[in-house]
A and B are shown apart, each in its own frame.
Chain A
Amino acid sequence: MTKVFLHNLGWITGVLVVLTAGLLLGARIPLRYNIRNLRVRWIPTALTALAFTAVIALLTVMLVFVSGMIRMTQMTGHPGNVLILDESANDEGFSNIPASDVGDLVNLPGLVRDGGRAWVSLETYLVVNQLLPHVQDGRPARRFLQMRGIEDVQMAALVHQMQLHPGGRWFSSAGVREIIGPKGQKITAIEAVLGEGIAREMARDRSPEELAQAQSPDTLLPGDTFSLGDRTWIVCGLMQSSSTTFDSEVWAKRSLAAGIFGKNTYTTVVARTPNAQTARQLSEYINKEYKKAAIRALPETEYFSSLQETNRQLLVAISFVTVVMAVGGVFGVMNTMFAAVSQRTADIGVLRLLGFSRRQILSSFLLESLLIALVGGAAGCALGSLSHGWTATSIISSNQGAGKFVVLRLVVDAGTLGAGMTLALAMGVLGGLVPAWRATRLRPLEALT
């Protein structure tokens, strides 16, 4: 139902806008009359509009959250990339490709090559526990951190089209660097590159002493350190990873990360082909004809698109909450409009005697209800827009157990605001229609007596 609504949002909005415009343009009863009535009954008008504001603000924030997650799954991955996992795995986290099986993958047909070198990135993806000794607000003392051990980071950057923010650099071929510890001692720190989202997230859980020395209170920056797996890690760069799942990852030298956390196999091989069609062809070739290793392949974009199950569940929940709250709001506006009709029975009688038709009376009351919806809805959208730029943690998953922890930035866009205003107007129409119809059924002389 939600998909149908979102797919047809343009049509629904169009119909409602045309209806409103039609009512405005075709109104014979002056709009001033409605506005004056709304001002006279300002308390119920304001209360009803406020109820609209609450419903629409809530809808806006919830939609922004889900659309952020949908955007993340749609924007991650290159159309020409092929993701290779072990044959039995449906997710990187469960994949195990022995080292002996990856060597030949650079010889696959149809790969993009640069000076004879195939664009293939060999990776070990891990979810690891990071202990958080300084955590606040009663939160758990550890977090799950997504670590991507990379064999050749320059190649991984090419394959994943990843760039660093100015001031950063990729980790060295050794993957470690000597730094001076807090007590002046030499420490061999592991170099890591962080997604923007996880850098912000990790910055929150620093001790007051660490914060005092931090370059930024909001995010980790190159040169900052953190602890993980009983080792000290140093940030050497931040990835321009916004709106992708890589935003929540820590990248480091594969041999070091895999060694520390005890995963010595590869999980993922990402191979670049020229385009989406060749990516599909290569996937089919690997799945049907490649017999040298027990692996399976799928286009990278397809893999990330499959991680939509949480989004679907959230959309259903949001739709349910929104519909129920909207029904509550509709009852509210109905109350207001029924009261308006009963208070203005004499007005309606006079209008009818002056020659205004039933249709014009209906338009006038409907317009009044739409005005309340318009004001309340616009205020709700404005309130909901305050969530623009917020950061939220969540999870994206497929219906087969695969999933990734993500940090996303909320972006309020025109589509979300359009959905908010559409719902507000729809509530206005639904809530105003029955009272307006009742107004048209009043007989002029009876209304005046």
Chain B
Amino acid sequence: MKLLVFILKNIRRNLLRSILTALGTMVLVVVVILVWSILWFLDQQTKEKTSNIKAIVTERWQLPSRMPLSYAPELRAGAVRRPEHVRPLDSMTWQFYVGSTEQGRFSRDTVLFVVATQPEKVLTMFDDLDTLPSDSPDRQQLQKAVQAMKSNRQGLIVGRERLEAINKRVGERVKVYGLSYKGIDLEFDIVGTFPEGRWNNLAVMDWEYLNGAVDAYNRRPGVRPHPMTERSLSIVWLKVPDMRSFTAVASQIASSPSFTNPQVKTETLASGTAAFLEAFRDLIWGMRYFLMPAVVVTLCLVIANAISLSVRERRKEFAVLKVLGFRPTHILGLVLGEALLLGVVSGLASAVGVYVVINHVFGGLKFPIGFFSTFYIPEQAMGWGLAIGAATALIGSLVPAWIACRVRVAEIFARVG
């Protein structure tokens, strides 16, 4: 306790330096936490799960994937052909309808990317939404929206950012002019929004409404079948209990004679995500192995500088302490303690600040990488801030503390004399 009081007094003694060092630490810890939050999230997304695995089936060779809609029933059943075959726990299909809320204008404020799927799957298959606690307000709100979509085929759930961008509200009607489905314009009733998060910029519609509209288009007299009629299925999602089941389902699909033109491929969501992120490989590498070390090194240098200045100014004081009976380890502890306290407090304060500001003020960190547009600071960041502050403070103060504890009393007083 005495040591702590002593450390606090020393920190207060040169308040300006302590504040500058703390501020330096805080701003640099902000960068570390922001970058780590992005890397941590991407690592989570590309890490293979061992249970409740999501698999995606897409066209084997081409991107964007476009498969015949007739593939859907068999793929959703995991291409089961024999009794011993494994059936997925759950499934859904995705078709993409891209349109604009203004005819002839296609801009950031008018574009709407809509996923056409089975409405009830929003609650059971969509990432992050399927894990919402059943008693959470977000889940209950979403359940209402899904129910509304099931009773009204024109129902549309829109992400919050997109809703704001197109200047609409829940309960309003919106007409969307088809771009990916040219000539097929759809009217929607906005029945709800997604909870804040990764679905902020997407919208979801009932697949039956889209496919019904395509059928209606094709039934018009004298009109050639719509170009999207043949191949409108983009992704089939499957949920399987474990890796063994995934391997079995993937093999069932690969060996099925039904999927030859075009061929399809099955992969885990993590593997598919990793392939998409491959384009950002060097960017992510740079963030992990170049940016992070550079920030940590700068942080260590800022702390080392402050502590070495402090040690240099207090050589006489350390000599007096030695005369008073303080052992070198005491002085070492004193200097390290000062640095550690500064590092820990400013690291933690920075982490708490960035967590609150980014998540609750800015609504996430907007940095689009692949199909991830918004990143959030995880709760673990508190620990990171504390650990980075402590580690850099220790590393930065080690040499100055060593110099402080090696102060020779005779030399110091000889100079004073």
Chain B residues, CB < 8 A from A332: 24, 298, 301-302, 305-306
In Å, the complex CA distance between A314 and B368 comes to: 9
Within B79-115, which residues are at the interface with A (CB < 8 Å)?
Answer: 98, 106-108, 111, 113
Complex CA gap A87/B27 in Å reads 49
- Answer yes or no: B294 CB below 8 A from chain A CBs: yes
The contact string, 1 if C-beta is below 8 Å from chain A, for chain B 243-280, is 00000000000000000011001000001001100111
CB contact list, A390-420 vs B, under 8 A: 392-395, 399-401, 405
CA A126 – CA B309 in complex, angstroms? 61
CB of A115 within 8 Å of the partner chain: no
CB <8 Å contact, B180 and A54: no
Q: Shortest distance in angstroms between B61's beta carbon and chain A's nearest beta carbon? A: 5
Interface SS of A by simple majority? helix
Residue B173 CB within 8 A of the other chain: no
Write out the residue numbers on chain B whose beta carbons fall within 8 Å of the beta carbon of A334.
20
A33 interface residue per 8 A CB criterion: no
Point out the residue from A88, A310, A335, A343 that lies within 8 Å of B180, measured CB to CB.
A88
Indicate if the CB atoms of B31 and A61 lie closer than 8 Å: no
A48 on interface, CB distance cutoff 8 Å: yes
**A-side contacts of B275, CB under 8 Å:** 129, 140, 142-144
Answer yes or no: B393 CB below 8 A from chain A CBs: no
Contacts of B279 in A (CB 8 A): 144, 393-395, 405
- List residues of A (341-371) whose CB comes within 8 Å of B's CBs: 342-343
Within 8 Å of chain A (Cβ to Cβ): is B154?
Answer: no
Residue among B261, B298, B304 with the most chain A CB within 10 A? B298
Question: With an 8 A cutoff between CB atoms, is A444 at the interface?
Answer: no
Is B9 among interface residues, defined by CB-CB distance under 8 A?
Answer: no
Q: State the interface size on chain B (CB cutoff 8 A).
A: 60
Shortest beta-carbon distance, A357 to chain B, in Å?
26
Query: Which of B282, B290, B298 is the one whose CB lies under 8 Å from A393?
Result: B282
Q: How far does the alpha carbon of A339 sit from the alpha carbon of B20 in the complex, in Å? A: 12
Indicate whether A129 sits within 8 Å of B60 (C-beta atoms), given known contacts A332-B301, A335-B17, A338-B17. yes
* A262–B17 touching, CB < 8 Å: no
B63 touches A54 (CB 8 A): no
Listed stretches A148-156, A165-173, A218-226, A319-327; interface member: A319-327
Most A C-beta atoms less than 10 A away, residue of B61, B182, B313: B61
Do B301 and A313 have beta carbons less than 8 Å apart?
no
* B308 close to A (CB within 8 Å): yes
B302-A328 in contact (CB<8A): yes
CB-CB under 8 A from B108, the residues of chain A are 399-400
Query: In the complex, A144→B64 CA distance in Å?
Result: 11
Query: B145 to chain A: closest CB distance in Å?
Result: 25
Given contacts A140-B271, A395-B280, contact A88 B308 (CB under 8 A): no
| Assembly CA distance A126 to B290 (angstroms) | 33
A14 CB-CB contact with B under 8 Å = no
User: CB within 8 Å of A: which of B280-315?
Assistant: 280-283, 286, 290-291, 294-295, 297-299, 301-302, 304-306, 308-309, 312-313
**By the criterion CB–CB under 8 Å, are B367 and A321 in contact?**
no
A47–B294 CA distance with the chains assembled, in angstroms: 14
Contact of A140 among B25, B178, B278, B295 (CB under 8 A): B278
Q: Is B16 in contact with chain A by the CB < 8 A criterion?
A: yes
With an 8 A cutoff between CB atoms, is A331 at the interface?
Answer: yes
Asked whether, in the complex, the Cβ of A51 is within 8 Å of the Cβ of B63, the reply is no
Q: Can you list 20 A-B contacts (CB < 8 A)?
A: A43-B308, A44-B305, A58-B291, A62-B291, A88-B179, A126-B62, A139-B278, A294-B182, A321-B291, A325-B295, A328-B24, A328-B298, A332-B298, A332-B301, A335-B309, A339-B312, A392-B282, A394-B282, A399-B108, A405-B279
- Having A127-B63, A321-B31, one finds 11 other A-B pairs with CB under 8 Å, namely A44-B305, A48-B301, A55-B294, A62-B286, A93-B64, A129-B60, A139-B281, A317-B367, A329-B298, A331-B302, A401-B98
